[in-house]
């Protein structure tokens, strides 16, 4: 499995490439979220893009969906809510492009899926948006790589849970309980990546590798 990031920001800062990644899997490629105009400027990628996982239907995760539908009207889309004008899957399939697929709802104002993707060698969880919960930690446990949103600066945990996003301390709490080999931060909004990682390291177990996603980053897992 190979994951290439096209967008790693949230709705802020304005004009940034928002949530989006390209995944190469044993049974074919697909995108997770469609917040990146850069992806849609790549004709080869667009021509090959017939499967998409959407974590949820907030604008910073689906901004480029209309452009994709114009180019690929028969694309297969999986999302936690129906998508107008798209052939929506009725349930989460057990297999997705040759990977085992599971989904779990997170704590977020808009219905959001965290996705677990597994092949014979590795398991990856992509959280989409959401704050810490024991249920999310349990879903993530056993993953080799967890790609997690990194939206908020440090605020009280109850405030972050009410908003439905991660602070550095809650990001670290999730990782410490799930114990992946790699923790990947993405969806930066209130803090730039170096600032966010610096705060996370205050709480994170030292045995977990911490990575800031950026446009063009490719992870081989």
Taking the chain (221 residues) in runs of 10, the rounded mean pLDDT of each run is 97 94 97 98 95 97 96 94 83 96 98 97 98 98 98 98 98 98 98 98 98 98 93
**Distance in angstroms (rounded) separating the CA atoms of residues 105 and 146:** 15
Looking up tokens 């309980």, which residue turns up?
177
Between 168-178 and 193-200, two packed helices, what is the crossing angle to 10 degrees? Answer: 60
**Distance in angstroms (rounded) separating the CA atoms of residues 130 and 118:** 21
CATH homologous superfamily of 2-82+92-215 equals Ribonuclease Z/Hydroxyacylglutathione hydrolase-like (3.60.15.10)
Q: Give residue 118's pLDDT.
A: 98
Q: Give residue 89's pLDDT.
A: 84
**Distance in angstroms (rounded) separating the CA atoms of residues 139 and 109:** 19
Q: Give residue 221's pLDDT.
A: 93
């Amino acid at each position: 499995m190979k994951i290439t990031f096209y967008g790693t920001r949230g709705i802020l800062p304005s004009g940034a490439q928002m949530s989006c990644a390209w995944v190469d899997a044993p049974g074919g490629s697909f995108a997770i979220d469609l917040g990146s105009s850069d992806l849609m400027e790549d004709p080869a990628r667009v021509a090959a893009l017939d499967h998409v996982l959407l974590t949820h239907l907030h604008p910073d995760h689906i901004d480029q969906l209309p452009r994709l539908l114009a180019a690929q009207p028969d694309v297969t889309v999986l999302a936690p809510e129906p998508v107008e004008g798209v052939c929506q899957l009725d349930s989460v399939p057990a297999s997705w492009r040759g990977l085992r697929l599971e989904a779990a709802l997170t704590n977020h104002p808009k219905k959001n899926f965290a996705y677990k993707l597994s092949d014979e060698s590795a398991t990856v969880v992509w959280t989409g948006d959401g704050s810490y919960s024991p249920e999310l930690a349990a879903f993530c446990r056993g993953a080799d790589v967890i790609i997690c949103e990194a939206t908020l600066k440090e605020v009280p945990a109850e405030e972050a849970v009410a908003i439905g996003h991660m602070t550095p301390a809650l990001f670290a709490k999730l990782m410490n309980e799930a114990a992946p080999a790699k923790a990947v931060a993405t969806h930066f909004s209130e803090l730039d990546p170096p600032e966010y990682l610096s705060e996370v390291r205050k709480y994170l177990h030292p045995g977990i590798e911490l990575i800031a996603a950026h446009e063009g980053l490719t992870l081989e897992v």
